[in-house]
């Protein structure tokens, strides 16, 4: 929060002028500030300007051009390093095409003309270019963080090593420390992690006793029906697991899955079994297992 005591202290120490996005790293900074700088790298990679009036945006320094990766002007700074985008806007509104052609390359000229400003110039604003809504989301931020090199979670960084030392020294339950360690090293058994490592997801076939649902999933149809959202979620999970077929089997041949489905209705939280199975389906799993795989 901009008016909180913590924000005021950090601003007074590290960025008295300008804003957080313009702040720089300091070798003697506190652990909190270094951690914020770690996250700022992700913001720098995903944020860009939306042109309103243009007075807040530097032509050559800032990211504002609809160009993948850099989002910056590539032409030499013939207008000056500190020139702002409002200098490129005609007094009558719209872009000053003559000035653009005079100072920009053809690629930059065409890229700028893709930005629609019309006859009204509003307020410049920052948007998150990795989500269609223009707003930052944890999911899109996670994707951006993993696209950076080196990854923020790299154990080669002295900052990260220091962070881990501090974590293990905190007076918190050990299970929380272990959970944080697993989460940072992708050991939480999410569907994406299992698919990425190809661990826990051995070649398999998914079976269901709902013939109509299996038919719709295979066809990719009825996505606009009342059950469409559920079908879309199922298709999304299947795509994250790789090439996994799904087949119909009668309920009598799939008692373990039927029992698990009924058990899931009683659970209020997600549950995972990595090397065993729920006791409630033990007998059914054993009954479906070939004798040569049973241990006595």
pLDDT tens track for 241-292: 667 788 888 877 777 777 887 887 787 777 777 666 677 777 776 666 654 4
**pTM for this structure?**
0.45
Regarding predicted confidence, which is higher, 230 or 104? 104
| Length of the chain as a residue count | 296
Q: Residue 248: enclosing H or E segment and its boundaries?
A: strand 246-248
The alpha carbon torsion through 177, 180, 184, 188 (nearest 10 deg) reads 120
- Of the candidates 204, 221, 218, 216, the residue with the CA atom closest to the CA atom of residue 257: 204
User: Which positions ≥6 away from 217 have C-beta within 8 Å?
Assistant: 231, 234, 235, 238, 246
pLDDT in tens, 166-213: 877 888 887 787 788 777 766 676 666 665 555 444 567 788 888 888
Longest Cα separation, the chain? 87
The alpha carbon torsion through 114, 107, 133, 141 (nearest 10 deg) reads -170
Percent of the chain with pLDDT over 70: 77
Give DSSP secondary structure letters for 106-124. HHHHHHHHTS--TT-----
């Amino acid at each position: 929060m901009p008016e909180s005591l913590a924000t005021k202290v950090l601003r007074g120490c590290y960025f008295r002028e300008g804003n957080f996005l313009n702040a720089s790293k300091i070798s003697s900074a506190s652990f909190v500030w270094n951690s914020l700088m770690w996250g700022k790298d992700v913001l720098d990679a995903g944020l860009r300007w939306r042109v309103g009036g243009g007075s807040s945006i530097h032509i050559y320094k800032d990211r504002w051009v609809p160009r993948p990766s850099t989002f910056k002007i590539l032409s030499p700074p013939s207008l000056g390093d500190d020139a702002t985008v409002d200098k490129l806007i005609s007094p009558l509104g719209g872009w000053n095409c003559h000035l653009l052609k005079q100072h920009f390359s053809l690629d930059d000229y065409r890229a700028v003309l893709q930005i629609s400003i019309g006859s009204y110039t509003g307020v410049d604003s920052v948007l998150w270019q990795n989500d269609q809504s223009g707003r930052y989301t944890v999911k899109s931020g996670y994707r951006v963080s993993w696209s950076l090199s080196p990854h923020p979670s790299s154990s080669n960084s002295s900052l990260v090593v220091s962070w881990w030392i501090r974590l293990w020294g905190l007076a918190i339950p050990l299970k929380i420390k272990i959970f944080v360690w697993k989460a940072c090293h992708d050991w939480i058994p999410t569907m994406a992690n299992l698919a990425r490592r190809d661990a826990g997801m051995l070649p398999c076939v998914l079976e269901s006793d709902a013939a109509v649902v299996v038919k719709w999933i295979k066809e990719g149809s009825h996505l606009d029906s009342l059950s469409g959202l559920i079908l879309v979620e199922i298709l999304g999970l299947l795509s994250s697991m790789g090439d996994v077929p799904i087949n119909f089997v009668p309920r009598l041949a799939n008692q373990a899955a039927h029992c698990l489905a009924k058990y899931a209705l009683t659970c209020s939280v997600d549950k995972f079994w990595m090397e065993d199975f729920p006791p409630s389906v033990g007998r059914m799993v054993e009954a479906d297992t070939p004798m040569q795989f049973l241990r006595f």
